[in-house]
Amino acid sequence: MAGTVTITTAAGESFTAYEAKPDGAPKGGLVLIQEIFGVNQVMRDLAEGFAAQGYHVLAPDLFWRQEPGVDITDKTEAEWQKAFALLNGFDQDKGVADLQATISHLRGLGVGKVGTVGYCLGGRLALLTALRTDADAAVSYYGIMLAPLVPEFEKISAPLLMHIAELDKYVPPADREAVLAALASRPTASAYVYDGQEHAFARVGGQHYNVDAATLANGRTEAFLAKALAA
Active centre residues (catalytic)? 168, 199
Is residue 28 left, alpha or beta, with left meaning phi > 0 and alpha meaning psi from -120 to 50? Answer: left
Instruction: Return the half-sphere exposure (C-beta side, CA atoms, 13 A cut-off) of residue 149.
Output: 23
| SS3 call for 171 | coil
Query: How far is Cα of residue 55 from the mean position of the Cα atoms in its chain?
Result: 15
Q: How many CB atoms neighbour CB 153 within 10 A? A: 20
Contact 126, 97 (CB under 8 A): no
Strand positions, DSSP E, 176-229: 189-194
Containing 94, the helix (H) or strand (E) segment is helix 92-108
Query: How far is Cα of residue 165 from the mean position of the Cα atoms in its chain?
Result: 15
Query: How far is Cα of residue 129 from the mean position of the Cα atoms in its chain?
Result: 9
Round to whole Å and give the CA distance between 106 and 57: 8
Round to whole Å and give the CA distance between 135 and 10: 17
